[in-house]
């Protein structure tokens, strides 16, 4: 491989501008996607296929999504990776693509089964083991590398200090800056040991907001001192661990930039704080530029230019790639952006590709896919790690564990939120199947996130004669329909166990309550083993549980978690 500077010197301005972009393209195939995907590509990109998008824009990278139909199965995805690399290397300037993904695990997974699905960040935070976090990232990284994906947009370095946070929540390791910092370091080490580039997100910190930046522009009202104490430590830890990139957030932090620009577009935040104060020398990538939070103040053409002026290197997923590409090119030609500024970003991108070995060999073996992705060793490790994350919050009267000998007939009811990629079915069905495999006789009834009176009545009728009822709870608030369902079931006298399948805040009053931190198969299987006494609950809350109608009242503090022995001793 030539020296990156020599390659940079041979590139045209158009080729350099292309390297700044990380695009998504619809379809499972580089040259022959489904007709519906061709139509969407033509509407959004002005091309029909990924190969045509590469020829037109010369992008520095692509990002894979399940909703873009990129990820049907492991061999298909590896083939797609090889084919888009051939398309990139067959065109001037012959630079391989940096293929990326959001594969956080837990509630955010783009590649599903048969790939190994692992507990997400908050579950790992509950497990409390840096070794488990490191091992989970090594497994995830090995499988991504086998698929031709060389960068994962992880870890989340956000400190989730606001229980009402709608966008981060269980994607954060927890509510303590020091604890989050340790897990962030371990995850970076695990991914990098597998040859995967990392990206700490969402700078300068998305943990204390009640607004989702996908749909609006959040404001973080921390003082500069609070930011230094709460938000900055995990990013400092990430930089110390050698993180490859930092992803910016689409939010306003007046204490860091009184101009009230989104952090992604803020020179004081990206260059002043991240580059100059914290000393980050690696890549800076935007969060998706399709998100509403970054588009509320400026047009899509200006967003791309302003992000580069702020100090960003990579423009991720712009909603109108041709408009943004032309706007950047025009800004350079008219002098708003210097070519030297563009060169600095392109050089960082090329240097990362060199470090990852992409110029030496960007291709993957399909045989290695079969050997690595979803291997029995990886799946077994995922189950072991998940067993250590399940948190027992309440166990009145020692209801848990249940035994097939004394509690054979169970009813599983509750919410069935849309599942992350690769789960085998709705949460109630997955939980019921796991319990059936452990010797129970299980009836399943999905009552939904907002159960109707008819659904509640049906659940109450189905509870008659059961040894116990298990309820999957999702986004419960005091007095809502799910809360009413649980109250009606409890009134039957049948023992009720709640499983909080998203945040541990989802806890209506029941005799026993578990937190799983997600509703993916691996976490629900672990919960079933805990319910059946096949695994002992070892998780400890990484965030406090507060009353939904009175957030100042802490029901369970950070670190709370029962074991069966501990409860028996205190009963």
> Which two tokens mark 220?
């973080």
Burial 457-480 (b: 16+ CB within 10 A, else e): eebbebbeebbbbbbbbbbbeeee
The residues near 493 (Cβ < 8 Å, ≥ 6 apart) are: none
Q: Which of 32, 73, 212, 214 is catalytic?
A: 214
Query: Are 109 and 523 within 8 A, CB to CB?
Result: no
Half-sphere exposure of 70 (CA within 13 A, CB side): 30
Query: CA-to-CA distance for 435 and 437, rounded, in angstroms?
Result: 5
Biggest alpha carbon–alpha carbon distance for the chain? 78
Q: Say whether 132 is catalytic.
A: no
> Which two tokens mark 313?
């290197």
Q: Say whether 214 is catalytic.
A: yes
How close are the terminal C-alpha atoms of the chain, in Å?
Answer: 68
In a 10 Å sphere around its CB, with 0-12 CB exposed, 13-18 middle and 19+ buried, how is residue 563 labelled?
middle
The CA-atom distances, in angstroms, between 507 and each of 61, 117, 287, 350, 447 are: 42, 25, 32, 49, 16
- The residue assigned the tokens 């009145």 is 396
DSSP letter assigned to residue 491: T
Q: Which of 37, 102, 158, 287 is catalytic?
A: 287
SS3 151: strand
Beta bridge partners of 359: none
My answer on whether omega of the bond before 155 falls inside 30° of 0, hence cis, is yes
Query: CA-to-CA distance for 500 and 206, rounded, in angstroms?
Result: 23
Taking alpha carbons only, the member of 364, 376, 288 closest to residue 77 is 364
Burial 89-117 (b: 16+ CB within 10 A, else e): bebebebbbbbbbbbbbbbbbbbbbebbb
Q: Chain-centre distance of CA 154, in angstroms?
A: 7
My answer on whether omega of the bond before 204 falls inside 30° of 0, hence cis, is yes
SS3 6: helix
Query: Are 369 and 481 within 8 A, CB to CB?
Result: no
3-state DSSP helix/strand/coil % of the chain, to nearest 5? 40, 15, 45
Q: Which helix (H) or strand (E) holds 64?
A: strand 61-64
**DSSP-H helix ranges across 532-570:** 564-570
DSSP letter assigned to residue 242: T
Q: What is the dihedral of CA 269, 150, 173, 202, to 10 degrees?
A: 20
SS3 77: helix
Catalytic residues: 214, 287
């Amino acid at each position: 491989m030539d020296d990156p500077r020599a390659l940079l010197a041979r590139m045209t301005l158009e080729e350099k501008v292309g390297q700044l972009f990380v695009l998504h393209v619809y379809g499972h195939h580089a040259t022959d996607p489904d007709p519906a995907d061709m139509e969407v590509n033509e509407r959004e990109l002005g091309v029909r296929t990924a190969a045509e998008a590469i020829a037109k824009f010369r992008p520095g990278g692509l990002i894979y999504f399940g909703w873009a139909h990129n990820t049907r199965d492991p061999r298909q995805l590896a083939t797609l990776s090889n084919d888009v690399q051939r398309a990139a290397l067959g065109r001037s300037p012959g630079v391989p693509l940096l293929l990326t993904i959001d594969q956080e695990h837990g509630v955010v997974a783009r590649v599903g089964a048969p790939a190994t699905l692992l507990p997400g960040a908050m579950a790992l935070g509950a497990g409390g083991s840096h070794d488990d976090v490191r091992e989970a990232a090594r497994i995830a990284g090995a499988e991504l590398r086998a698929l031709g994906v060389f960068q994962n947009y992880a870890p989340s370095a956000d400190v989730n200090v606001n229980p009402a946070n709608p966008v981060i929540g269980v994607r954060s390791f927890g509510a303590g800056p020091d604890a989050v910092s340790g897990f962030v370091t371990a995850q970076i080490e695990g991914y990098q040991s597998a040859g995967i580039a990392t990206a700490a997100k969402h700078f300068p910190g998305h943990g204390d907001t009640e607004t989702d930046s996908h749909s609006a522009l959040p404001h973080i009202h921390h003082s500069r001192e609070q930011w230094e104490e709460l938000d900055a430590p995990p990013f400092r830890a990430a930089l110390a661990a050698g993180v490859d990139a930092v992803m910016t957030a689409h939010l306003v932090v007046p204490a860091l930039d009184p101009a009230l620009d989104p952090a992604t577009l803020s020179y004081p935040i990206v260059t002043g704080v991240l580059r100059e104060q914290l000393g980050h020398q690696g890549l800076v990538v935007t969060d998706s530029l399709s998100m509403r939070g970054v588009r509320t103040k400026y047009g899509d053409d200006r967003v791309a230019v302003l992000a580069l002026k702020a100090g960003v290197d990579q423009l991720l997923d712009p909603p109108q790639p041709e408009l943004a590409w032309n706007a950047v090119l025009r800004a350079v030609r008219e002098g708003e952006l210097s070519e030297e500024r563009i060169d600095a970003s392109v050089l960082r991108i090329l240097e990362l590709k060199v470090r990852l070995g992409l110029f030496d060999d960007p291709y993957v073996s399909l045989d290695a896919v079969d050997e690595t992705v979803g291997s029995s060793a990886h799946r077994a490790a995922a189950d072991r790690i998940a067993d250590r994350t399940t948190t027992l919050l309440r166990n009145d009267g020692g209801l848990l564990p249940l035994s097939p000998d004394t509690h054979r007939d169970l009813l599983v009811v509750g919410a069935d939120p849309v599942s992350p990629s690769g789960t085998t079915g709705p949460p109630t069905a997955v939980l019921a199947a796991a319990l059936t495999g452990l010797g129970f006789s299980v009836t399943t009834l999905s009552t939904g996130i907002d159960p109707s009176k008819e659904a509640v009545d049906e659940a109450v009728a189905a509870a008659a004669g059961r040894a116990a009822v298990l309820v999957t709870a999702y986004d419960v608030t005091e007095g809502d329909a799910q809360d009413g369902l649980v109250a009606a079931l409890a009134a039957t006298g049948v023992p009720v166990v709640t499983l909080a399948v998203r945040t541990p805040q989802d806890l209506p009053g029941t005799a026993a309550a578990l937190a799983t931190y997600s509703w993916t198969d691996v976490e629900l299987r672990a919960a079933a083993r805990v319910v059946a006494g096949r695994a002992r609950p070892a998780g400890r809350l990484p965030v406090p549980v507060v009353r939904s109608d009175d957030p100042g009242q802490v029901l369970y503090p950070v670190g709370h978690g029962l074991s069966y022995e501990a409860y028996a001793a205190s009963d």
